[in-house]
Structure 1
């Protein structure tokens, strides 16, 4: 007869995987629009509010100061540092919130 081995009690916690869809952005074919944004450009940014905040506006305009690259490919921007053209407030913005690039006037 063999002696039964005591089993170790394992507590396993499984966290559900969550994916957040940040919405639709205007595309040119299969290439996301925000990949064409560069420092000095004026862009339109979609507002994203936290749960419980009251929406004050749908979008705002800002001037791109810095484009941050991703870890895998630094040429792919995933964060922008943008200065609000109305208030001058500088903030970091997720790249997928950039919806439009405002074209420059001819001759500039």
Structure 2
């Protein structure tokens, strides 16, 4: 295919002309190809989706010095003071583990951030 800069058209080897608009090649596609391309194009689904009902996870708001409720996987819960907050390797600002000191028996332990169910407000 060769480009003719003066007339604004392209000519192929067989002598056929292909129209050009703003130097973009306009090619007539077969019906099946056009239908396939239309199906593959992205569609705006904003009207069909609902806004997420969940707020931020509670552990994103926990800082060292706060009192929290930790719900264990077996259903029991403990109140603890947060001593230290450790982030993940990929995103250090997002808490991954908390070093806590349990209020009832004063044991210091590391817990997964997902186990925090409540933040106890200060009095």
TM-score of the pair, normalised by structure 1: 0.61
Find runs of 4+ consecutive structure 1 residues off by over 3 angstroms.
Answer: none
Q: 1:42 aligns with which of 57, 67, 70?
A: 67
SS of the residue corresponding to residue 87 of structure 1 reads coil
Q: 1:48, 1:64 → 2: CA distance?
A: 19
Deviations 1:44-86 (A, max 9, x none): 001124xxxxxxx610100000000011111100100000001
CA shift, 1:29, in A, is: 3.7
Alignment of 1:8-87 (within 5 A): 29-49=54-74, 58-87=76-105
In structure 2, the partner of 1:101 is: 119
How many pairs align?
71
TM-score of the pair, normalised by structure 2: 0.54
Q: 1:48, 1:93 → 2: CA distance?
A: 11
Which one has the bigger helix percentage? 2
Q: 2:65, 2:92 → 1: CA distance?
A: 19
SS of the residue corresponding to residue 48 of structure 1 reads coil
What root-mean-square deviation, in Å, do the aligned CA atoms of Structure 1 and Structure 2 show? 1.6
Higher relative contact order (CA 8 A, sep 6+): 1
Structure 1, gaps ≥5 residues long? 1-27, 50-56
Q: Whose radius of gyration is greater, 1 or 2? A: 2
CA shift, 1:30, in A, is: 3.4
Structure 2, gaps ≥5 residues long? 1-52
